[in-house]
């Protein structure tokens, strides 16, 4: 029984009444589809026939009316017994995905056109792709005999001296590029990279970081909750606690990764973005060490001419806390629209690690001190490359990405 005859009958008419029978039947359809596709690929029809043959094969399988896939839908899926409908539906969905290789664009990309010589020898006549790929010589008695005069055969072995086809190479995403640049600076200072889960417990995301239940960041409109005790992490700071529990002190780490906030997307906000956390814990660490390290980092990343400014702020997990600003890289501190005429641009938060945070990490605050900072990678990429809309990073627009 041909495949056309089988898809024209119902499962009952084909005496298929169980799941193995359904699986076997769909396997036959996939095999028939692939066999016909391979036959067309090896045939390599002439260029003036290739698109027509590809369309004919596509319509045979994918036409809305009387296409073989449509008949499978009508006769096997819609008319299947109630007890078989789930398994038939699952196999039909797999078949639909498999049949995407019969789309016209896919076929035109897979099916080569035959080479040709004219009877005068100045161009090529159509030949069999299988012979070409095998490096064989075509004989007049082959399918091309009608195109060859006086019994002349053409040597169709591939010319290995011709340049090969080169696929266009992509480039590193600007966020990844900036992420790696920041990592390299701190790796050079002796820090190591640490990672942690993006689906985090409320304890590590809030409690262990000295963020009380009354803090606004724990509200539903700021944080994405999986359940009442689990969140999508709002910062990479939970890895501070995990690293302290794992390694103890002394400890020098940076923590790159994705974080999530309940923000509406706009030019400067996204519900998902990347952050880098830095943590140093050791004996006799002071705020002066923090300032020196971040000043060195800013000059390495933004250029030796940049200046840094620290001013007080508040974070529950650091005490004292500060905000770091740099002289505007656009106007060199003279004042412009980018820095709102102030000459300074805020780039990160920082501070000395709160004693309660050290205790939650299993470290004695009477023996050790530490500092931490956090920055948004997309913000640094926007400043570095002059990008005015954070959404451009996530839209996968090749016209934007190929600039990097």
Closest listed residue to residue 274, CA positions, set 182, 360, 186: 182
Residue 3 has pLDDT above 50, yes or no: yes
Shared domain for 199 and 73, answered yes or no, is no
Q: What is the DSSP string of 203-232?
A: HHHTGGGT--TTSGGGSTTTS-EEETTEEE
Average pLDDT over residues 43-54: 85
Report how far residue 104's alpha carbon sits from residue 139's, in angstroms, rounded to the nearest whole number: 32
My answer on whether 87 and 179 are in the same domain is: no
Residues 237 and 342 in one domain: yes
Q: Is the peptide bond before 400 cis (omega within 30 degrees of 0)?
A: no
Rounded CA-CA distance 330/339 in Å is: 8
Cβ–Cβ < 8 Å for 353, 281 = yes
CA angle 97, 101, 103 (to 5 degrees): 100
Per DSSP, 245 falls in state H
Give yes or no for residue 142 having a pLDDT over 90: no
| Range name among 125-129, 211-215, 237-241, 358-362 with the lowest pLDDT average | 125-129
Which of the two residues, 225 and 222, has the higher pLDDT score? 225
pLDDT tops 80 at residue 57:
yes
- Using only C-alpha atoms, what is the Rg of the chain? 33
Domain boundary among 110, 137, 161: 110
| Residue in 200, 189, 197 with CA at minimum distance from that of residue 224 | 200
- The residue-averaged pLDDT of 102-130 equals 61
Q: How many residues does the chain have?
A: 404
Last residue of a domain, one of 66, 91, 110: 110
What average pLDDT does this structure show over 207-211? 93
Using alpha carbons, select from 69, 135, 64 the residue that is nearest to residue 101.
Answer: 69
Q: What is the pLDDT of residue 138?
A: 43
> What is the pLDDT averaged over residues 357-370?
95
In a domain, 167, yes or no: no
Residue 364 counted as domain residue: yes
The Cα-based distances of 376 to 1, 171, 269, 344 in angstroms read 64, 22, 11, 17
Q: Which DSSP state fits 371? A: E
Q: Is the pLDDT of residue 150 over 90?
A: no
Per-residue model confidence (pLDDT) at position 140 = 43
Predicted pLDDT at 171: 83
- To the nearest whole percent, how much of the chain has pLDDT over 70? 89
Sorting pLDDT into bands at 50, 70 and 90, what band is 209?
very high
Residues 106 and 222 in one domain: no
The CA-based dihedral angle spanning residues 387, 392, 394, 398, taken in that order and rounded to the nearest 10 degrees:
-110
Is pLDDT at 343 greater than 90 in this prediction? no
pLDDT-based confidence at residue 342 (cuts at 50, 70, 90): confident
Whether 179 maps to a domain, the answer reads yes
Identify the band that residue 65 occupies on the pLDDT scale cut at 50, 70 and 90: confident
**Residue 116 resides in a domain:** no
Same domain, 300 and 214: yes
Residues of the domain holding 10: 3-110
- Structural domain includes residue 302: yes
Q: Is the pLDDT of residue 382 over 80?
A: yes
- CB–CB of 357/205 below 8 Å? no
Q: Are residues 93 and 187 in the same domain?
A: no
CB 279 within 8 A of CB 372: yes
- Domain shared by 178 and 83, yes or no: no
Same domain, 220 and 368: yes
User: For 261-267, what is the mean pLDDT?
Assistant: 88
Q: Give the pLDDT score at 259.
A: 95
- Domain end position, chosen among 73, 94, 110: 110
Please check whether residues 274 and 346 belong to one and the same domain.
yes
CATH number, domain with residue 352:
3.30.930.10
Say whether pLDDT at 227 is over 50. yes
Q: Which of 50-59, 60-69, 289-298 has the highest mean pLDDT?
A: 289-298
DSSP string, 282-316: ETT--HHHHHHHHHHHHHHHH-TT--EEEEEEEET
Structural domain contains residue 143: no
Mean pLDDT value across the chain: 85
Could you give the CA distance from residue 81 to residue 89 in angstroms, rounded to a whole number? 11
The pLDDT score that the predictor gives to residue 152 is 45
Does residue 94 lie in a domain region? yes
Rounded-to-integer distance, Cα 116 and Cα 99, Å: 31
Confirm whether 370 is domain-assigned. yes
Q: Place 156 in a pLDDT band, splitting at 50, 70 and 90.
A: low
Helix 47-62 and helix 19-43, axial crossing angle in degrees, nearest 10: 170
Please state, in angstroms and rounded to a whole number, the distance separating the CA atoms of residues 35 and 31.
6
Same-domain check for residues 77 and 178 = no
* Strand pairing category for 344-353 and 318-327: antiparallel
In the chain, the number of structural domains is 2
Q: Based on the domain organization, do 103 and 182 belong to the same domain? A: no
Domain co-membership, 202 together with 62 = no
Straight-line distance from the first to the last Cα atom of the chain, in angstroms, rounded to the nearest whole number: 57
């Amino acid at each position: 029984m041909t495949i056309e005859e089988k898809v024209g009958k119902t499962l009952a008419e084909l005496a298929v009444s169980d799941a193995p029978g359904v699986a076997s039947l769909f396997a036959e359809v996939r095999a028939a589809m692939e066999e016909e596709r391979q036959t067309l690929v090896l045939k390599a029809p002439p260029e003036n026939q290739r698109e027509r043959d590809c369309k004919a094969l596509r319509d045979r399988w994918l036409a809305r009316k009387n296409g073989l896939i449509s008949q499978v839908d009508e006769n096997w899926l819609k008319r299947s017994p109630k007890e078989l409908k789930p398994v038939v539906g699952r196999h039909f969905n797999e078949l639909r995905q498999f049949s995407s290789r019969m789309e016209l664009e896919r076929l035109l990309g897979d099916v080569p056109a035959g080479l040709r010589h004219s009877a005068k020898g100045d161009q090529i006549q159509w030949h069999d792709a299988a012979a070409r790929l095998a490096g064989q010589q075509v004989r007049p008695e082959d399918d091309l005999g009608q195109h060859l005069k006086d019994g002349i055969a053409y040597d169709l072995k591939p010319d290995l001296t011709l340049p090969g086809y080169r696929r266009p190479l992509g480039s590193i995403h600007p966020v990844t590029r900036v992420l790696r640049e920041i990592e390299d600076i701190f790796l050079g200072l002796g820090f190591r990279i640490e990672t942690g889960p993006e689906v985090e417990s409320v304890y590590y995301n809030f409690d262990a970081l000295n963020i009380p239940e009354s803090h606004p960041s724990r509200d539903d409109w700021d944080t994405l909750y999986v359940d009442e005790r689990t969140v999508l992490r709002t910062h990479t700071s939970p890895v501070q606690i995990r690293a302290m529990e794992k390694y103890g002190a002394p400890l020098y780490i940076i923590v790159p990764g994705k974080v999530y906030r309940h923000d509406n997307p706009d030019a400067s906000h996204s519900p998902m973005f990347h952050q880098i956390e830095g943590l140093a814990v050791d004996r006799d660490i002071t705020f002066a060490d923090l300032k020196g390290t971040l000043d060195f980092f800013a000059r390495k990343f933004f250029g030796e001419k940049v200046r840094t400014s620290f001013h007080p702020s508040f974070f529950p997990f650091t005490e004292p806390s500060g905000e770091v600003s740099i002289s505007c890289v656009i106007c060199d501190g003279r004042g412009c629209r980018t820095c709102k005429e102030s000459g300074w641009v805020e780039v990160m938060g920082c501070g000395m690690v709160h004693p309660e945070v050290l205790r939650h990490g299993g470290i004695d605050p009477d023996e050790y001190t530490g500092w931490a900072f956090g920055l948004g990678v997309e913000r640094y990429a926007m400043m570095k490359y002059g990008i005015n809309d954070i959404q451009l990073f996530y839209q996968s627009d090749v016209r934007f990405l190929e600039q990097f």
